């Protein structure tokens, strides 16, 4: 594409303002001609993000990097763009996380490893600088006062509630909520915590708290005699645990948004190819139904991969424990053998000394052969054997020479 090539040339020449403008026009051109697959949109966002960093606009670079990740969440270079933008913004911890996420999908990317090293060095330098500031009591005290002042002046932004709880839950009963929570394939469907609580992804902490209280009143086993109440409340507790954990909640929100964008983008592409709305409705249902189906599938896939990873970790840990146990048994046997060897050492020495003394006496006085005393039973058995051999015609005269 002409605009992309011009942007690359401007970037190499150091004219980052012109590079940004060229990449922006290339992005607009690709969006207008969605069927043209010569240039991938995520590549253009990645290039413009790099240009914004060089141009001194890391906020814009971060936006482009996030757009790039929405389109291609498994591309290591996109995580590198995000990490670089966050680094330029001074958010070293978040930048390090972005690089680590990138290495999880692209382990052989040297740029990501280099970025991680730069982040660690910056974090270490910042920690050292803070430690030096702490050595000055007055400076430390003033910093604490300033932080407290910021916390007091900071006010929560946005509404406390984004859901009309009274209207939405007016028809809820214990029975219909237990039926909803324990419907077919509920263990897979309830992996989406927002679906379990019937809340949108932009629900606030107050929405989550109020919805948890409402569901607890309806399905808690102490307040409901239904035998299924215990299982239903377990599903509520699991979803609540995910929603109050910032990291797990962010992952759920990101998953839902990505699925929504993916389905909408696919629909737009199919419509441009000439497939009618009626055909899409027959095949996938309404847009909302298609999105819901994609979300269920994505959460189920994540859970399957997570459980598979856990099983592999457990098997590896079990194998390591067995190996360690075998090694301990081996060295225990070696130790016991050494102890036995040391305990019998004196006895072996005595046997050897006695043997040497007897050998000297035999050499000096001569040794006479003394045949062992033969038991009566053994003599009788030998005589019986001779009779049998003679009866069978076996000649044993040759044995006389042995004696």
Q: How far separated are the first and last CA of the chain, in Å rounded?
A: 111
DSSP letters for 120-133 = HHHHHHHHHHHHHH
Q: How many CB atoms lie within 10 A of CB 255?
A: 19
For 235, 256, 389, the CA distances from 193, given in Å and listed in that order, are: 9, 11, 95
Can you read off the two tokens belonging to residue 239?
């979803």
Start-end of H helices in 273-393: 277-284, 287-343, 345-365, 376-391
Please, which residues have CB within 8 angstroms of residue 240's CB and are 6 or more apart in sequence? 193, 197, 208, 212
Q: Where are the alpha helices (DSSP H) in 344-375?
A: 345-365
pLDDT by position in tens, the chain (length 403): 578 888 888 888 888 888 888 888 888 888 877 645 566 788 888 899 999 988 888 899 999 999 888 888 888 888 899 999 999 988 888 888 888 888 888 878 888 888 888 888 888 888 877 766 555 555 555 666 566 555 444 444 556 777 888 888 989 999 999 999 998 888 888 999 999 999 998 889 889 999 999 999 999 988 888 899 999 999 999 999 999 999 999 999 999 999 999 999 988 888 888 888 888 888 888 988 899 889 999 998 888 888 887 778 888 888 888 888 888 988 888 888 888 888 888 887 887 778 777 766 666 555 554 555 555 666 677 777 777 666 555 566 666 666 5
This prediction's pTM: 0.42
Backbone dihedral region for residue 14 (phi beyond 0: left; psi -120 to 50: alpha; all else: beta): left
């Amino acid at each position: 594409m002409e605009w992309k090539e011009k942007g690359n040339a401007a970037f190499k020449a150091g004219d980052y303002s012109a590079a940004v403008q060229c990449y922006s026009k290339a992005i607009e051109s690709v969006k207008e001609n969605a069927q043209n697959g010569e240039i991938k949109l995520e590549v253009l966002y990645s290039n413009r993000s790099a240009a914004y960093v060089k141009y001194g606009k890391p906020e814009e670079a971060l936006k482009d990097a996030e757009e790039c990740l929405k389109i291609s969440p498994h591309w290591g270079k996109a995580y590198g763009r995000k990490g670089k933008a966050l680094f330029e913004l001074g958010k070293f911890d978040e930048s390090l996380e972005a690089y680590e996420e990138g290495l999880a999908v692209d382990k052989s990317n040297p740029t990501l490893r280099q970025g991680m090293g730069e982040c660690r060095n910056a974090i270490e330098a910042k920690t050292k600088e803070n430690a030096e500031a702490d050595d000055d009591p007055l400076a430390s005290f003033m910093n604490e006062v300033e932080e407290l002042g910021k916390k007091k002046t900071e006010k929560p932004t946005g509404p406390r509630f984004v859901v009309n709880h009274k209207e939405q839950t007016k028809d809820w009963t214990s029975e219909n909520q237990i039926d909803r929570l324990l419907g077919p394939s509920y263990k897979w469907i309830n992996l989406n915590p927002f679906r379990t609580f019937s809340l949108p992804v932009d629900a606030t902490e107050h929405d989550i708290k109020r919805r948890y209280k409402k569901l607890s009143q309806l399905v808690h086993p102490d307040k409901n005699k239904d035998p299924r109440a215990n299982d239903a409340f377990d599903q509520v507790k699991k979803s609540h645990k995910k929603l109050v954990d910032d990291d797990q909640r962010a992952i759920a929100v990101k998953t839902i948004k990505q699925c929504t964008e993916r389905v909408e983008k696919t629909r737009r592409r199919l419509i441009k190819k000439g497939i009618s709305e009626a055909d899409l409705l027959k095949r996938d249902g309404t847009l909302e139904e298609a999105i819901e189906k994609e979300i269920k599938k994505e959460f189920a896939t994540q859970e399957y991969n997570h459980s598979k990873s856990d099983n592999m970790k457990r098997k590896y840990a079990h194998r390591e424990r067995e190996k360690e146990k075998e090694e301990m048994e081996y060295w225990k046997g070696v130790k016991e053998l050494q102890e036995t060897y040391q305990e019998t050492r004196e006895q072996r020495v005595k046997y050897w000394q006695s043997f040497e003394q007897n050998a000297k006496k035999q050499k000096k006085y001569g040794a006479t052969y003394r045949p062992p005393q033969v038991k009566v039973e053994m003599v009788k058995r030998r005589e019986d054997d001779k009779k049998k051999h003679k009866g069978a015609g076996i000649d044993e005269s040759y044995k006389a020479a042995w004696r």
